[in-house]
Amino acid sequence: MYCQPNCNNSTSKLKDGVTMREKKSGALSKVQKIKKRLSHSFGRLSISKEDPDRNRTSRDALPCKLQFNGYSEEFLDRIEPNGNIPCANDEHLSRYDWSSNLGDQERVKRQLSVSSDSKLLDEDICEETRVILRPKKPPRPKSEVFLNQPNHRRTKRYSAFGGDSPFGKSEAYIKLDPLGEGSYATVFKGYSNLTNQVVALKEIRLQEEEGAPFTAIREASLLKELKHNNVVTLHDIVHTRETLTFVFEYVHTDLSQYMERHSGGLDYSNVRLFMFQLFRGLAYIHQRRVLHRDVKPQNLLISEIGELKLADFGLARAKSVPSHTYSHEVVTLWYRPPDVLLGSTDYSTSLDMWGVGCIFIEMITGVPTFPGVRDTYDQLDKIFKILGTPTEEHWEGCTHLKGYKEGKGKIFMYPHQKLGHVFPRLYDIAEGENLATSLLQLNPDLRINAPSGLKHKYFQSLPKALYDLPDEMSIFSLKGVHLSHESRTTFKC
């Protein structure tokens, strides 16, 4: 095997009958650059362990004609500067025939032998390979990700009130004893894990086809805007697939239960405090153009210290809505005013004030004021027997109401009586009969409103400082204001 003895910028040495070329010095030659490219493309060059020259450099490790991809080193040295391959008819530039010049054993050794190290790759290429193949840094364990991050913010929106509030989760509340059940909701005593206090849970059952009752939506929208000591507080709303739960402040009883425990009529001083708070709460919501439309003892909550709170705004309505859309099927029958009983839908705050008058007399006497039994006409009959049957002379337009026209034969004519004659206890209270008469007027335009009721002479014995209290402060925060012992209580057999 022969190599040209005088190659440019290189010297030749003879060893074991084979002429070998010395490694060039200085800058990288074209051959070295091609070596790098071939190393990436075709893998490492290898020689068998039996090769006596295996410890030589990569350039001297193979005979001169066993070069890269079958080309001799002379061929590579003569590559033109523009990168073109020289003409192939030069006998020294002919492609090397691997299959014809290597024995079978030699060919197998060359194909199967593996280099014991990576020296056949240039150091630069080895370094580049290590950079490319460097493994990614494993992710940190979850236990370390949140380590030392006590203020890590949650991104899930929990509450109907918005933000990252912890409210709005059903697991935040524990359901305890049932307190009462209505047509579409059940009220439970509950415990809040968020505030560590007892709450009332009003659980509304949802129908999959119908969704949330409109009364529940109305109650939530109104109560979120009402903040007053004499209006029950809505703390939270929890919405699940089956239920919609309102979380209210817990008040341990209502006026109906309070009167049952103290039957026979309440202490007159306590009645005055309850009435003042009732006027105060209604004045607040009426000034915000909200009608309760279901004022009755069951919807007036009484706290342990005697705070009265308006509750159950399921029938409440914003007065800004046109009045002709109102329904006459509002207010429990015993506390429904005569104009609504006769079919009027053109009502205002006077609707609630009639119920206040009925409750006032009931607290004093211990019995319902107008206890209708059968239907609306039976209820009207109970009212007209005491207050007299209305006529156009005293109530203009009453005979044109739908219920009045259809009630011919059912509405009887009665004379007017003084409330003090029917309920003598009203005369035992200073200005008591006057206040009751101001509230129980057949003509809705003549009924006293809540702000005027607060200034009635009936309350003149109360401290003047009560009128200066902020909305969210209780009247019992003033020194000397407290409930009296119910000394007139009698027990039922």
The model's pLDDT over 367-378, given as tens digits with 9 standing for 90+, comes to: 999 998 888 999
**Per-residue pLDDT at 27:** 52
**Per-residue pLDDT at 209:** 61
Report the alpha-carbon distance of residue 371 to residue 318 in Å, rounded.
29
> Which has the minimum average pLDDT: 98-102, 153-157, 217-221, 391-395?
153-157
**Per-residue pLDDT at 268:** 96
Q: Are 2 and 44 in contact (CB under 8 A)?
A: no
Mean pLDDT of the chain: 76
For range 120-149, the mean pLDDT:
51
**Per-residue pLDDT at 123:** 56
For range 470-486, the mean pLDDT:
94
Domains of the chain: 172-249 (3.30.200.20), 253-320+329-477 (1.10.510.10)
Does the structure show a pLDDT above 80 at 183? no
Burial of residue 26, with CB atoms counted within 10 A of its CB: 0-12 exposed, 13-18 middle, 19 or more buried: exposed
> Which has the minimum average pLDDT: 66-75, 148-157, 484-493?
148-157
The DSSP call for residue 231 is B
Q: List binding-site positions for ATP.
A: 202
**Per-residue pLDDT at 250:** 95
Confidence class for position 305, pLDDT limits 50, 70, 90? very high
Instruction: Name the most confidently modeled range: 104-113, 122-131, 296-305, 371-380.
Output: 296-305
**Per-residue pLDDT at 320:** 46
Report the alpha-carbon distance of residue 387 to residue 341 in Å, rounded.
15
Confidence class for position 144, pLDDT limits 50, 70, 90? very low
Q: Say which residue, 306 or 127, is predicted with more confidence.
A: 306
Q: What is the pLDDT of residues 234-276, one digit of tens each?
A: 999 888 888 889 999 999 899 999 999 999 999 999 999 999 9
**Per-residue pLDDT at 127:** 54
Q: Are 338 and 301 in contact (CB under 8 A)?
A: no
**Per-residue pLDDT at 79:** 61
What pTM value is reported for the model? 0.65
**Per-residue pLDDT at 346:** 81
Give the containing element (helix H, strand E) for 222: helix 214-223
| Percent of the chain scoring above 70 in pLDDT | 60
For range 203-213, the mean pLDDT:
73
Give catalytic residues, as residue numbers.
Answer: 294
Confidence class for position 57, pLDDT limits 50, 70, 90? very low
Report the half-sphere exposure of 359 (CA within 13 A, side-chain side): 28
Q: Which residues contact residue 352 at a Cβ distance below 8 angstroms, ignoring those fewer than 6 apart?
A: 282, 286, 291, 292, 293, 295, 450
Confidence class for position 348, pLDDT limits 50, 70, 90? confident
**Per-residue pLDDT at 114:** 43
Does the structure show a pLDDT above 70 at 308? yes
Confidence class for position 98, pLDDT limits 50, 70, 90? very low
For range 95-121, the mean pLDDT:
47
What region, left, alpha or beta, does residue 162 occupy, with left being phi > 0 and alpha being psi -120 to 50 degrees? left
Does the structure show a pLDDT above 60 at 49? no
**Per-residue pLDDT at 5:** 46
Residue listed under structure tokens 């440019």: 8
Report the alpha-carbon distance of residue 480 to residue 462 in Å, rounded.
10
Confidence class for position 409, pLDDT limits 50, 70, 90? confident
> Which has the minimum average pLDDT: 37-41, 101-105, 135-139, 259-263?
101-105
**Per-residue pLDDT at 143:** 46
